[in-house]
């Protein structure tokens, strides 16, 4: 990350109130200080946090001289004087001096307090006249309405490949790693982490290989990826799928698999990360009935990412249990990239501005992991509720995934019977499995495995979706007819043709 040009412009224009959305405040402060170009003695560098109040910025183990002198005037008794954020802002307003720079940590925790918002606004003209600046630091920041026209916000991107390459060199040199095996993969694994997090994760993944004089320090890439996964999952609403599925484990859906394989393995449009949104109609599509504005904000952020980065998407529509999620998860192994599950419901918080911050942080992580070369795959059981502007962003189309045909089901039963070690005797079937989904076939075999019952007996505990919700299934088929692409055969889905066609079905 490099915030030098931005902070130079802020200081040149005498901007009094600014904010940096950053995952690494310490690095941001160092970058801002570096932009002063040797004029460090002409300013007063201070910082504020909730525990220590107003203190001088420490550089190379020493408190900044000008900052220390200014702090003694504003806060002679230490944190007792300035530990309260509103009181600190008031004291800053009553102690004006030229060239004060105050780095305000965790601003997102306090900015929606009415006293803090008023204190910041009171400082605007005072700091403008004195060439001073408050730099608010936060992972993400949503301004209250009274400050939206007064604060300049800079969003810092997470480290790119060039920055991470320098980190890898530095850490490996310090750890005396003689040679970095598969260097590109190491750097790729670190994408999506802050500079500090990347340093820690990489350092902890270096271990000795061998004994005695022949021992060498190497990077354990499996451990590196596992630690990176844990770091990503600290972001509310994000998780990383690490299943072993591949398209070879799926039956049917030949048209969809062929299309996705071309997309995912094309040298022209390489995919670095897949964003998987399960049942998108329950998350982003709920904006119309959300009076809080949270869902609308999430939708706008999501649409902006897709548009600004030109990230394509594909929608998989069909009844539950037809293999939509399995396809999305298996796509990661085809592309040899991570599948990042995005749960917008888990991003919603109880505090004002919390939800808005979470969706922005999550999208920044996805942008960093994918380096702008991502693909969104969304599953959907009801498409009518999706806003037109959202459907339009999924430029790779909508595929309809129908229930298996009779011949397709004949492939599913022996597959799951073998997986669940169902004996030949218990594998015999005499019941009607018309319109069973792959998930229901799997569930029946699972019941037989757990109970020791035959498949005939286990089937009495399964109610297929075609029977529990027949209207929903037929409604989806009618809607998809002539409108969406068939997942199993080439061309547009046609209800009658689709139901009579057999191509071998998916194994979820």
pLDDT of residue 249: 74
| 430-481 pLDDT, tens digit each | 999 998 998 999 999 999 999 999 999 999 999 999 999 999 899 999 999 9
Is residue 415 very low, low, confident or very high in pLDDT (cuts 50, 70, 90)?
A: confident
The answer to whether residues 366 and 342 touch, using CB atoms and an 8 Å cutoff, is yes
**Segment 402-412 mean pLDDT:** 84
Among 3.10.180, 3.90.226, 3.20.20, 3.40.50, what is the CATH number of 4-155? 3.40.50
Tell me the torsion sign for CA atoms 53, 59, 62, 65. Answer: negative
Mapped onto helix, strand or coil, the DSSP state of residue 261 is: helix
pLDDT of residue 502: 40
Out of 314-323, 351-360, 370-379, least confident range: 351-360
Out of 109-118, 241-250, 324-333, 417-426, least confident range: 241-250
User: What does the DSSP 8-state code read for residue 113?
Assistant: S
User: What does the DSSP 8-state code read for residue 379?
Assistant: E
pLDDT of residue 507: 42
pLDDT of residue 286: 56
Say which residues have a Cβ less than 8 Å from residue 41's Cβ, sequence separation at least 6: 65, 66
The answer to whether residues 297 and 287 touch, using CB atoms and an 8 Å cutoff, is no
Q: The tokens of 474 are what?
A: 């037929």
Mapped onto helix, strand or coil, the DSSP state of residue 63 is: strand
Cα–Cα dist 344/239, whole Å = 12
Q: The tokens of 480 are what?
A: 């998809």
Q: The tokens of 495 are what?
A: 């209800």
The answer to whether residues 408 and 359 touch, using CB atoms and an 8 Å cutoff, is no
Query: Rounded mean pLDDT of the chain?
Result: 88
Say which residues have a Cβ less than 8 Å from residue 304's Cβ, sequence separation at least 6: none
* H-helix segments, 146-270: 161-174, 183-190, 195-204, 221-232, 254-265
| 132-181 pLDDT, tens digit each | 999 999 988 889 999 999 999 998 888 888 999 999 999 999 988 878 88
**Segment 360-375 mean pLDDT:** 88
**Segment 475-489 mean pLDDT:** 93
The H or E element spanning position 316 is: strand 313-317
Higher-scoring residue by pLDDT: 455, 360: 455
Q: Is the pLDDT of residue 417 over 90?
A: yes
Q: What is the CA radius of gyration of the chain?
A: 28
Domain-by-domain residue ranges, the chain? 4-155, 161-232, 238-383, 406-500
| 284-318 pLDDT, tens digit each | 765 555 556 788 888 999 999 999 889 999 999 99
Distances (CA, A) of 16 to 32, 94, 121, 211, 437: 15, 16, 10, 59, 62
**Segment 85-92 mean pLDDT:** 96
Q: Is the pLDDT of residue 506 over 60?
A: no
How far does the chain reach from its first CA to its final CA, in angstroms? 41
**Segment 348-369 mean pLDDT:** 82
pLDDT of residue 2: 58
> pTM of the entire structure?
0.75
Cα–Cα dist 89/54, whole Å = 10
pLDDT of residue 182: 83
Higher-scoring residue by pLDDT: 430, 351: 430
Cα–Cα dist 157/139, whole Å = 11
Residue 371 CA to chain centroid, in angstroms? 12
When mean pLDDT is compared over 102-106, 300-304, 331-335, the highest value belongs to 102-106
Tell me the torsion sign for CA atoms 303, 304, 307, 312. Answer: negative
Mapped onto helix, strand or coil, the DSSP state of residue 368 is: helix
pLDDT of residue 66: 96
| 183-230 pLDDT, tens digit each | 888 998 898 888 899 999 999 999 888 776 667 888 988 888 888 888
């Amino acid at each position: 990350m490099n915030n030098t040009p931005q902070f130079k412009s802020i200081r040149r224009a005498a901007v009094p109130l600014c904010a940096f959305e950053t995952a690494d405040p310490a690095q941001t402060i160092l970058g801002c200080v570096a932009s002063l170009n040797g004029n460090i003695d002409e300013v007063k560098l201070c910082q504020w946090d909730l525990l220590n109040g107003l203190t001088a910025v420490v550089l190379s183990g020493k408190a900044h001289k000008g900052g220390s002198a200014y702090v003694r005037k504003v806060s002679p008794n230490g944190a007792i004087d300035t530990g309260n954020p509103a009181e600190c802002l008031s004291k800053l307003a009553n102690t004006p001096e030229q060239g004060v720079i105050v780095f305000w940590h965790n601003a997102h925790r306090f900015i929606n307090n009415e006293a803090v918002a008023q204190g910041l606004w009171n400082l605007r003209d005072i700091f403008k006249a004195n060439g001073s600046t408050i730099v608010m630091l936060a992972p993400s920041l949503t301004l209250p309405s009274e400050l939206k026209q007064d604060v300049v916000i800079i969003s810092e991107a997470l480290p790119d490949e060039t920055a991470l390459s320098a980190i890898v060199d530095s850490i490996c040199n310090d750890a005396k790693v003689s040679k970095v095996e598969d260097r590109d993969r190491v750097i790729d694994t670190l994408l999506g982490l802050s500079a500090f997090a990347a340093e820690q994760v990489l350092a902890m993944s270096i271990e000795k290989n061998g004994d005695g004089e022949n021992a060498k320090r190497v990077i354990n890439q499996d451990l590196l990826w596992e630690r990176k996964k844990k770091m990503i999952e600290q972001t509310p609403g994000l998780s990383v799928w690490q299943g072993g599925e591949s398209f070879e484990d799926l039956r049917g859906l030949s048209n969809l698999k062929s299309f996705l394989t071309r997309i995912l393995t094309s040298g022209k449009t390489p995919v670095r990360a897949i964003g998987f949104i399960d049942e998108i109609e329950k998350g982003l599509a709920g904006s119309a009935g959300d009076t809080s504005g949270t869902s609308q904000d999430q939708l706008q952020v999501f649409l902006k990412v897709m548009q600004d980065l030109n990230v394509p998407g594909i929608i998989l529509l069909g009844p539950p249990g037809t293999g939509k999620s399995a396809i999305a998860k298996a796509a990661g192994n085809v592309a040899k990239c991570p599948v990042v599950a995005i749960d917008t419901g888990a991003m919603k918080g109880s505090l004002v501005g919390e939800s808005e911050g979470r969706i922005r942080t999550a999208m920044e992580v996805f942008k960093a992991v994918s380096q702008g070369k991502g693909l969104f795959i969304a599953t959907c059981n009801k498409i009518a509720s999706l806003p037109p502007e959202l459907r339009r962003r999924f430029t790779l189309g909508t595929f309809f995934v129908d229930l298996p045909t009779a011949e397709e089901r004949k492939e599913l039963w022996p597959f799951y019977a073998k997986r669940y070690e169902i004996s030949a005797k218990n594998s015999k079937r005499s019941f009607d499995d018309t319109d069973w989904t792959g998930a229901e076939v799997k569930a029946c075999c699972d019941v037989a495995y757990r109970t020791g019952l035959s498949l005939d007996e286990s089937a009495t505990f399964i109610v297929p979706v075609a029977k529990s919700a027949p209207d929903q299934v037929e409604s989806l088929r009618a809607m998809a007819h002539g409108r969406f692409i068939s997942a199993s055969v080439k061309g547009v889905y046609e209800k009658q043709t689709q139901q009579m066609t057999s191509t071998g079905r998916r194994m979820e």
